[in-house]
Amino acid sequence: MDGAIVALEDIPTDSTVLFRVTDGEDEREAILVTNGDAGDGDGEIDGHSEDGRDGENDGNSADDSRAEPHVTCWLNYCQHLTHIKIDKGSGAPMRDGELVCANHGAYFDTTSGECTYGPCEGAYLTELEVSVSDGTVYLTDDEYAFVGDGPIDDDDDLTSTSNVKM
Ligand code: FES
């Protein structure tokens, strides 16, 4: 299948995986996030109830057959200042299962993409469709095609000579 991004087990549970996509015209950056244990599915999911939120989904993990982790994918641009990248190239920070934009401290729910706290509260990250098959995450979004791993290397670095033809 085209569009293989990364092995599921290689997605950290406390940070993001950065890669490049194209919409046919422009290259953009995207990030993968996983909620939960990419391992053996023993039901151990980090407690979401610690913060006292409404706890709708907190219930009994024994009951909850979420053996596979939930993987989501977002364009790597904050909704406060949309030229700002959430993952600067070495993984975005996460706190209590939420993605954090380090610039001004916006928190994003990794399931819905909604900013739950910060200057863009209520705004949503742009989601890309991904699917998991045989332990590999694939980009399955009709609007975007996978380009490669890692960040776009030509947007901040004017000293790059990688495009210079000798
Ligand atoms: S640029 Fe992300 S919170 Fe301000």
CA of 2 to the centre of ligand 1 (A): 33
CA of 162 to the centre of ligand 1 (A): 30
Evaluate: CB of 118 within 6 angstroms of ligand 1: yes
Residue 45's pLDDT is what?
Answer: 37
Per-residue pLDDT of the chain (166 residues; tens, 9 = 90+): 578 999 999 999 999 999 999 999 999 999 999 976 544 443 333 443 444 444 444 444 444 444 567 899 999 999 999 999 999 999 999 999 899 999 999 999 999 999 999 999 999 999 999 999 999 999 999 999 999 999 998 655 444 444 444 4
Residue to probe by mutation, ligand 1, list 74, 79, 81, 116, most atoms within 8 Å of CB = 81
Q: State the Cα–Cα distance between residues 123 and 140, nearest whole angstrom.
A: 24
Q: State the Cα–Cα distance between residues 31 and 145, nearest whole angstrom.
A: 14
